[in-house]
Amino acid sequence: MKFGVEFSGKEAMEGYLNLPSDLRKKLAYAMDLLAEFGFDIPAKYSKAFGDGLFELRAEAKSGIARAFYTFESGRIVVILNVFVKKSQKTPKLELERARKLLKELRNEAS
């Protein structure tokens, strides 16, 4: 693996663990691709949201899961938050939460 993948904290890990098993499995596969390909992950699995924030995508019979992530120095991918998507658009609250977590992560690294 070219990149390490880690969760930013307990809330992100619990979001992942609380996904239905089929979604958790699909998101784990997407995280494996992220670890292997990093910035070159296939577009089907990732979308850029600007300022170093990305969305990891997974879909299964039970629904759609998303995980916001960023890249940190040392070839580390940090999963900021994980949620089940229930509408066509990415929920504004989840995007705002991800941007807040990204800002906090950058302040800690300074």
Mean pLDDT for back-to-back runs of 10 residues, the chain (110 residues): 92 96 97 94 94 96 96 93 89 94 87
How confident is the model at residue 110, as a pLDDT? 66
Q: 17 and 24 in contact (C-beta within 8 Å)?
A: yes
CA proximity to 85, closest of 51, 48, 103, 60: 60
Global confidence as pTM:
0.93
Helix, strand, coil shares of the chain, percent, nearest 5, are 45, 35, 20
For residue 71, the SS3 value is strand
- C-alpha span between 103 and 98 (Å, rounded): 9
How confident is the model at residue 10, as a pLDDT? 96
How confident is the model at residue 87, as a pLDDT? 82
How confident is the model at residue 74, as a pLDDT? 82
Looking at the DSSP assignment, which residues form a beta bridge with residue 58? 65
